[in-house]
Each structure stands twice: as structure tokens, then as C-alpha cells.
Chains A and B, each alone.
Chain A
Amino acid sequence: MGGPTPLSFRFRGREYPIVGERGLAASLTGSHPPILGRSIRYHRPRAPFCGTGFCSQCLVRVNGVPNTRSCTYRPAAGDRVVSENGVPSVEYDLLGLLDALFPRGLDTLHGFRRPAFLRGFYQRVIRGLAGYGRPPTPGASAPVAPASLLDSDVLVIGAGPAGRAASTRLAAAGRSVRLVDRGPLTAPPTGVASHPRTTVTFLPPPSPDRPFPFEGSAVDERGAARLLRSREVVVSTGAYDGGLLFPGNDRPGVLTAEGAIQLASGRGDAPFERALLVGGEDRAAELIDRFGTHIAAAVSLSTFGPAVARRASELEIPLYPRSLILEARGRRRVRSALVRPRGGGPPLSLPVDAILLAHRRLPNVQLFFQPGAEMEWSGEVGAYLPRLSPGGGTSVPGLFAAGEAAGFAAGAESEASGVAAAEALLASASSAAPALRPPTVGTPSPLEGYYTELLGAASGRGKWILCACEDVLLSEIDEANALGYRGLEEVKRYTGVGTGVCQGRFCLPDAILLLSALERRPPAEVGYIRQRPPVLPTPLGAWAELPEAPP
């Protein structure tokens, strides 16, 4: 056991160098995404997936603190990182037998009841299996940098094209603006106070009788608390890459687009050899630009747009339009993918070691419904979006929406929506602001028909995991339905789907579509996705230190 070198951290007895801004998961990635944990219920292997700190698949223990998101955590010199929940190790885990022994699931609702005299024993076993890790080590996570109270006329949340455009316009009009972003926020707009690597965690409804009606909490990457007060808020929190349902969709090697980009950060090559790309539009094209010939093939659930088609033909990447993804095969990581043309046809096995999901973007809408904005189902996006007035005002006075979070397309359209939101705010909301069409409502989601067909085709030998945080199986949704439980609220509580640490980001959008098919009614009638605060799991210490607003 040699001491740590000044610029390295330690993982499983080995020293790893700290390279620039590279995150922990990327630092641990060699030629494949590393197995960093095991799931709770079936002890399935877990490796980085989402790249945004949302999902539960890359949690490790850092310096005695469990559940650290290795995809977004930046290691510091001397850090001691261990993986948890593996017996004896997360790579070769004996409890992984649970996964093999219970192909149709472990019945936690009805099970463990008999014989009654064994219940105490069952309870001890279950409490030992629960959780991703042990509680924090005493003395770990000492108090962090001091908390602070930050006031401004306008708080702009999210520094993508929309948030930047809104901030620039508002600062030019003489408003004091604070711009916060979860990421590094490089080159902030001039005249704007910027707060990089800061997550707004909770924005309750405004109180109009206060000088600063909005009071929200935020936390920086080291856990320091911020109380943000403002007169108005622009939410431009962008979107994230959604998941896709197929057996094996939780296998190491299945990555969202952002997950792949994060794991590859700071290196020229790819964290895989040959990947199957899923998606036919701009996000998929972006991945071809990034990973080039490491993309072995591309499938689209519908068609391919011109951007992907052109790049694919240049690089001779085979394209499979209108396809079903039937299964990801492989035990501890992806070895092949089984795909089949929609409408019928022979399945095709593609030897790949990664599957990159770039087929849909889902808006980050928590900061709309937390303060009480009215939401409406957008079939086109397959998600709930804030109901907008022309220009970007929500139903909450003083709360404005812009960019992908509000359903606008990435890039130029988002940027324009940022300017429009700023104009609407300056014109004090309701008056005639430049009209930007709010997103369309009512069209069916492209995924609705896809899932109906996929479930009809139902092959695939692996487990259909709908919710990877809690290992909830698709068959459990069917069971709940057969017993008469209806709608997302009941099914969520009955099965546990969406109650894990990602707060349903990767399963509830699919659960809505699946229930819509099962219950034969439109998605918006099935239920509303109501993630509870905070936006991201936030340390108790950060809440304890949250400043109080002076009276």
C-alpha cells in the first residue's frame, strides 16, 4: 500500500492518474465501460449508462460516501474509490445467482411471508440486500465550502443555446442575471453572473408578496448549498437522452448518447470496439462524427434523416431503417444485438460490444412543475411539457420557458426561443411578444406503435427490465394490470417502477406508453409524471446548510 501520488486517485488497489477535467467513470474506462456495481434485486452487473448523473448504474463509494455518481464526479487527488454491493466483487458476484434463479422475478409483494417464524430472518437478509451501499463512514463528508445566498433580477437555469441567448438579451436590457448550469459553463455571456457545476434542486411556487418572489435551492458539485432568490426565472434546462426497452437493455455496454460522450471524454478513441447506433436524426449524426468507424451499424426505429444517411455512406456504415431491437445478448456485457425489420422478417444478430441510444431526447421539466406550471402531454416528444403562452411564459407568473426543456428543437430554434422568452419577460409577460409557436400537442409518439409491435413480437430470452434502478420487470406491469390496477399512479406504487434513484427518468416515459397500450387509452389519460423534489438526490448536509432568507 504505497501512498497516493499527488495527482492520482485509488480504485481497487490501483492508482489512476487524474487527467484534466475527466470524470471518474471516464478515468476508469479502458476498452469497455467498467462494471462498477450490482443492482439491488437481482444483482445484475451495472456500468455507466446515462452520463448525466441521473441513473443508478455507476454509483461508487468515494472517501466513505456511498452513491457517488462516477459519470459526473471529478476525482480529486488522494480520493479512495471503491465499488459496493458485490459479493465478493462486483465483477464476479455470487449473489448474481439471484438473477439466474428467478427468471420471472422475485416476488417481494407476496413473498417472504411463510413460515411466520422465519420472518425475522427474512427481514435481516432483505435489509442486508437493500441499498447500493453501506451508510456513510463516520467522519466522511466533512462540512464543505460555505453556503451562500445569491440574489438577482432574473435567474436563468441552464446554459445551453436557449439560456445563453436569454441571459445575453436580459443583461443587455439592464437586468441583473444569474446563469447556473450543471456543467462547466465555459465562456459565459458578458455582464452575467455565472455559476458553473451548480444544480438547482428545488424551485417551489413563487410568493408574489415577497420582493423576490422566487426562492430556490441549489447545490454545487462539492455539496455547498446555495439559496437563489429572484424576481423572475427562465428555465432552459435542456433535454436528456432517453432509454429504450428491450431484454438486456441494462447490460454494461448499453449507453445513452450522452453516456458514450462522457465516457469518451478526454480521449481520441472510443470506450468500445464496435457499437450499434440507435437513432436516425441529428443526435445520431453527432455520434457518428464523434466515434466514426467504431460505429459498426445504425438502426432506426423509423427512418434515417439526411445527416445520418450522408455520414453513413461516407464511412460505409450499414443502415437498418424501421427496425425492432429484440435483445442485447451477452452475460456481463453486450456481445451482440438482435434486430429485425419492423413488420416482419428474419432477425439479424450483429456482433457489437456497445449499443448507443440516440433515438430520443426527453425534456428536463422538473423545474416547471415544481413551481406549479400547468403541463400538457406532447405526443411528438412523448413527454409532458409546460403549457406556453406565445413567447415562452408558463402558467406561473414570472416563470418562463425556453429551449429543449420546453419542447423546442436543439440549436437555432432553441436559441430563438431563449430570445423570445427574454422579450416576453421584458415586456412583462402577457403583452404581445414575438409569437413563437408553442410545441405541438396531440400527435401520437413515434414510440407508441413501436412498443405495440415489439411486445407483439415478444421474443428475447433475457429479462425485460423496465426500471433498472429497482429491477422492475415488464411482466410485473402486466400482472398489476391483470389485477385491475390502472393508471401510472397505482401501477407505480404497486410495482415500484419509477421509485428508484433516477426518479423515473428512464422508465416512466416508457411506462406511460406501455400502460396506454395495455389500458387502451391515450397516454395523457394514463397519468402524469410527477417527480418529487429534489431534482437530483441532494446530501442532507446541503439541506442543513441552506441559508435562510433575511426577513
Chain B
Amino acid sequence: MNDGPRDRYAVAIIGGGIVGLFTALHLARAGAGPIAVFERGFLSSGASGRNGGGVRQQWETAATVKLASEAVAAWRRFPGEFGYNPYFRQGGYLFLAESDDEVAQLDRVAAVVRSCGLPILRLPAERVAEYAPGIGLRSLKGGSFLGSDGTLYPFPAIWGVYEELRRLGVEVFLRTPVVGISRGEGGLLQLRLERSTISAPKVVNAAGGWSGEVSRLAGLDVPNVASRHEILATEPMKRFLDPMIIRLSDGLYLSQTMRGELVGGLTVPHPTGTVAGMPSSLAFLRRMGRAVVELFPSLRGLNVLRAWAGYYDDTPDGMPVIGEDPRLPGFYHANGFGGHGFMLSPATTRRVAQAVLGERTDLDPALFSPGRFLGAVRPGSVERLQPG
């Protein structure tokens, strides 16, 4: 196992969530030199160990659809490649619309997804139940369904990448927060740890909900905000529901895991920013209970087993931030992934690694670059399809 960190690395990554780990993997495979990952908590302590496991390709922006379908292919390969099985199950995603506006949104999404070559179905209200037997929503106006979307179990994905990193000699330091970032000699960036300081020419901010905090450690003002999102799981039961269900009106998402639990959440407004303990709330449990019972009246007797919460890392336009910060050469962003950073991670982190290696990426700067918030490039379109 690791002793203490060395003085110097080629790349230092802040945050040991799925984004930090996958980024390290791509860099190590490209032979980027000594790489360190610094993680404040235990492995999987951030959003990567707290999410709903949804993987979808239904988006409003074609750029995101393309990343997502590349990620779907990567998740299909994962068990063969990493020796761990995240049980990626392609049961589809079923979106539910209850108003004319929402129907129009699904139409827009369907057009984009179809233009990317994916066989999305737009469903009239009366056909929705074919995809989710037992659904009893009176206000339904329509839906959309894409069968190659699905769900996975996040933990085996984390273990698989983590163990591969260690085989490749990447040093992952757990329980090791980065507490300061400054510019050192010779163009190096210095990371202050609790007991030592290390330096590296390239640093990646993959701190998820804490990425704003980390950018500010480096003196950079960024628009990322952390928002607390709650989620619950029921007691496990035998197969009941195949697709992930998303309701646009309240952001409800609900799926059944391989273990048989129903896992889902919806958006309850909380003040932004991080707080100790990431608490659950009665308001969430009440609204979630109402939403699930409204959708599936037969489930009212099903027990909620546990509820927990985690942070999204939100940006003003709903798109991630990938690339070098023009104000601090050597400082790279890999953050702003909102509620969908896990599913996209195999694809997004490949671009992060390319950027760190100084290669060109296929990402539109107007959509992804840190510069879009600084007036450096004209911002592009906005991704509004945020739930689940």
C-alpha cells in the first residue's frame, strides 16, 4: 500500500469519485507519468456512492446525447474489462409528461435523440402503461421511451476502476483532503495537504459538489453551486419494474435495482451549499411517498428501507465544465456534472484526460469550456432536461 505522497507528480487529481478515478485511469493508460488522486473521505463517500445509478441518452443537446451513447457502450464493456460487474441493465428510460409544455419538451428531445440515430419512441398517454404495467397516473399526457437506456449499480464500477488504478501504479490517497492550492516555482501548482505539500504541473479539480470550494482554494471564482438531493430505497422485492421512470413535473425518478429495491428521488428545494451530515428531510419522504403511491397505487404497503442524500454540482446552463482554466494554466476542471455525472463519466473523463495531455478534444467550447462563464467564448445552448 501507499506510504506518504511523493513531492512531485505529473498530474494531481483532487477528488476520488468516479470522475477523478476514471480521469486517472485514462491518464495512466496514456502513460502520463506519476499520478496521484487525493480523496478527502473514504472511497465512494461523495455523490458517486450516493446516486440513483441511472444511465440515459435522452437529452436536449446533441452533444450530451453523443457522450451518453459512448458511455452506454463503455458500461456494456465494463464487466469484461474490469473484472467487476456493475449489472448495467438496459431496461429503458420512460419519461412522463403531464402538461402541453412537457409534451412539447419531449417532442424536442425526441427530435434531437432521433437525429443522433437512436430509436426513441414518443408514446401517447394510453400506451405508456405498456412500458410500466400498473402505472396509474390520471394526469398523463404522453411519454417517451428509449430501450437502450438503463441502470447500474455504482459501487462495483468504483471498485473496478480503483483496483485497475492500483495495478497501474496510480497512487490513491484516501482520507487526504487538499487544503490549499497555490502557484509554485517553475510553473508548478502546489497542493497543500494536512501534513505535507506536493507539486504538479497539472491539477484536475474533480471534487464534485465541492468543486466550487476547491476552485476558490485556487483563488478562482466559479459559478458552480452544490445542491443537496435526497433519495430513498425500499425493501427489496421480486421483479416489478423494468424501465427507469422519470416524471418531468416534479423530477421524480424511480427504478428497480438488480437487488430488487425501488430506488428513487425527486427535487425538494434546499438552500444551496454543503452542510454537515447531508441530512434527509420529512418533506422529501412525504413528497416521495405521495409521488410513488400516485404512480403505483399498489405500492402503498411497500416499506421505505432507508433514505439518504448527496450533492449535485450544478452550473448555470446545466452543462459540465471540462478543460483548462484560462486564468490559471495547469488547473483543469472536470466538474459541474449535476445529476448525471456518473452515467457520463466513461466518456467525459476521456476528454478531460485529452485536455490534460494537451490534445484536442471534440468538445464544443461554447458548451463545455470553463471560459464560457468568463466571456472568453460565447455560451451555447442550455441543457434543461435535468431530472434523474
Interface residues of A (CB under 8 A from B): 40, 64-67, 108-114, 116, 119, 123-124, 126-128, 130-141, 143, 202, 204-205, 215-217, 223, 227, 372, 483-487, 489-490, 493-494, 501, 503, 531-534, 537-546, 548
**Contact of B300 with A141 in the complex, beta carbons under 8 Å:** yes
**Additional A-B contact list (5), CB under 8 Å, known A113-B83, A127-B239, A540-B288:** A133-B237, A135-B238, A202-B282, A223-B301, A540-B234
CB distance from B75 to the nearest CB of A (A): 12
Q: Interface residues of B: mostly helix, strand, loop or mixed?
A: mixed
B377 interfacial contact with A, CB 8 Å: no
Contacts A130-B260, A136-B300 hold; do A532 and B308 have CB atoms under 8 A apart? yes
Q: Which of B237-264 contact A (CB under 8 A)?
A: 237-240, 256, 258-260
**Contact of B293 with A537 in the complex, beta carbons under 8 Å:** no
B84 interfacial contact with A, CB 8 Å: yes
Using an 8 Å CB-CB cutoff, how does the interface string of B188-221 with A read, 1 for contact, 0 for none?
0000000000000000000000000000000000
B117 interfacial contact with A, CB 8 Å: no
The 18 sampled A-B contact pairs (Cβ below 8 Å) are A113-B79, A116-B79, A126-B87, A127-B258, A128-B239, A130-B236, A132-B236, A135-B238, A202-B282, A204-B281, A216-B282, A484-B1, A485-B43, A490-B42, A501-B235, A532-B280, A533-B307, A539-B303
CB distance from A143 to the nearest CB of B (A): 8
List the B side residues contacting A227 at CB < 8 Å. Answer: 282
Which residue in chain A gives the minimum CB-CB distance to B158?
Answer: A493
List the B side residues contacting A532 at CB < 8 Å. Answer: 280, 306-308
| Residue from the list B45, B174, B304 in contact with A538, Cβ < 8 A | B304
List the A side residues contacting B42 at CB < 8 Å. Answer: 486-487, 489-490
**Contact of A123 with B293 in the complex, beta carbons under 8 Å:** no
List the B side residues contacting A485 at CB < 8 Å. Answer: 43
List the A side residues contacting B366 at CB < 8 Å. Answer: none
CA distance A486 to B176 in the complex (A): 14
**Contact of A546 with B285 in the complex, beta carbons under 8 Å:** yes
CB distance from B86 to the nearest CB of A (A): 10
CA distance A227 to B300 in the complex (A): 18
CA distance A534 to B80 in the complex (A): 38
**Contact of A544 with B306 in the complex, beta carbons under 8 Å:** no
B318 interfacial contact with A, CB 8 Å: no
Using an 8 Å CB-CB cutoff, how does the interface string of B151-178 with A read, 1 for contact, 0 for none?
0000110010001001000000010000
| Residue from the list B49, B281, B302 in contact with A539, Cβ < 8 A | B302
| Residue from the list A126, A136, A486, A501 in contact with B302, Cβ < 8 A | A136
CA distance A205 to B280 in the complex (A): 10
| Residue from the list B134, B288, B290, B304 in contact with A534, Cβ < 8 A | B304
B118 interfacial contact with A, CB 8 Å: no
CA distance A143 to B234 in the complex (A): 19
**Contact of B239 with A130 in the complex, beta carbons under 8 Å:** yes
**Contact of B286 with A546 in the complex, beta carbons under 8 Å:** yes
Report, nearest first, the 8 A-B pairs whose CB atoms are least far apart.
Answer: A543-B289, A141-B301, A130-B260, A541-B300, A537-B303, A131-B260, A544-B289, A532-B306
| Residue from the list B174, B299, B305 in contact with A135, Cβ < 8 A | B299
**Contact of A542 with B289 in the complex, beta carbons under 8 Å:** yes
**Contact of A127 with B260 in the complex, beta carbons under 8 Å:** yes
CA distance A501 to B261 in the complex (A): 11
Which residue in chain A gives the minimum CB-CB distance to B293?
Answer: A544
**Contact of B44 with A136 in the complex, beta carbons under 8 Å:** no
CB distance from A519 to the nearest CB of B (A): 12
List the B side residues contacting A131 at CB < 8 Å. Answer: 235-238, 259-260
Which residue in chain A gives the minimum CB-CB distance to B304?
Answer: A538
| Residue from the list A40, A124, A136, A217 in contact with B285, Cβ < 8 A | A217
CB distance from A524 to the nearest CB of B (A): 15
CA distance A487 to B234 in the complex (A): 26
CA distance A112 to B298 in the complex (A): 32
| Residue from the list A65, A493, A543 in contact with B155, Cβ < 8 A | A493
CA distance A485 to B293 in the complex (A): 39
CA distance A132 to B282 in the complex (A): 27
**Contact of B293 with A136 in the complex, beta carbons under 8 Å:** no
Q: Which of B56-115 contact A (CB under 8 A)?
A: 76, 79-80, 83-85, 87, 89
Contacts A539-B303, A543-B285 hold; do A130 and B43 have CB atoms under 8 A apart? no
List the B side residues contacting A490 at CB < 8 Å. Answer: 42-44
| Residue from the list B45, B256, B286 in contact with A543, Cβ < 8 A | B286
CB distance from B342 to the nearest CB of A (A): 15
CA distance A128 to B238 in the complex (A): 6
List the B side residues contacting A546 at CB < 8 Å. Answer: 282, 285-286, 289
CA distance A541 to B286 in the complex (A): 9
| Residue from the list B156, B159, B259 in contact with A130, Cβ < 8 A | B259
**Contact of A135 with B240 in the complex, beta carbons under 8 Å:** yes
**Contact of A110 with B298 in the complex, beta carbons under 8 Å:** no
**Contact of B280 with A204 in the complex, beta carbons under 8 Å:** yes
List the A side residues contacting B134 at CB < 8 Å. Answer: 138
| Residue from the list A123, A135, A205, A531 in contact with B89, Cβ < 8 A | A123
List the A side residues contacting B289 at CB < 8 Å. Answer: 540-546
List the A side residues contacting B234 at CB < 8 Å. Answer: 540
Indicate the member of A131, A133, A503, A546 with the most B CB atoms within 10 Å.
Answer: A131
**Contact of B238 with A134 in the complex, beta carbons under 8 Å:** yes
**Contact of A533 with B306 in the complex, beta carbons under 8 Å:** yes
Using an 8 Å CB-CB cutoff, how does the interface string of B265-287 with A read, 1 for contact, 0 for none?
00000000000010111100110
Contacts A202-B282, A532-B307, A537-B305 hold; do A109 and B84 have CB atoms under 8 A apart? yes
**Contact of A493 with B298 in the complex, beta carbons under 8 Å:** no
**Contact of B286 with A136 in the complex, beta carbons under 8 Å:** no
CA distance A64 to B298 in the complex (A): 10
CA distance A494 to B84 in the complex (A): 11
**Contact of A109 with B85 in the complex, beta carbons under 8 Å:** yes
**Contact of A133 with B286 in the complex, beta carbons under 8 Å:** no
CA distance A546 to B302 in the complex (A): 15
CA distance A493 to B48 in the complex (A): 12
B132 interfacial contact with A, CB 8 Å: no
List the A side residues contacting B302 at CB < 8 Å. Answer: 66, 135-136, 539-540
List the B side residues contacting A111 at CB < 8 Å. Answer: 85
Which residue in chain A gives the minimum CB-CB distance to B154?
Answer: A493
**Contact of B281 with A140 in the complex, beta carbons under 8 Å:** no
**Contact of B286 with A548 in the complex, beta carbons under 8 Å:** yes
Contacts A205-B279, A543-B286 hold; do A136 and B299 have CB atoms under 8 A apart? yes
CB distance from B281 to the nearest CB of A (A): 6
CA distance A542 to B301 in the complex (A): 8
B329 interfacial contact with A, CB 8 Å: no
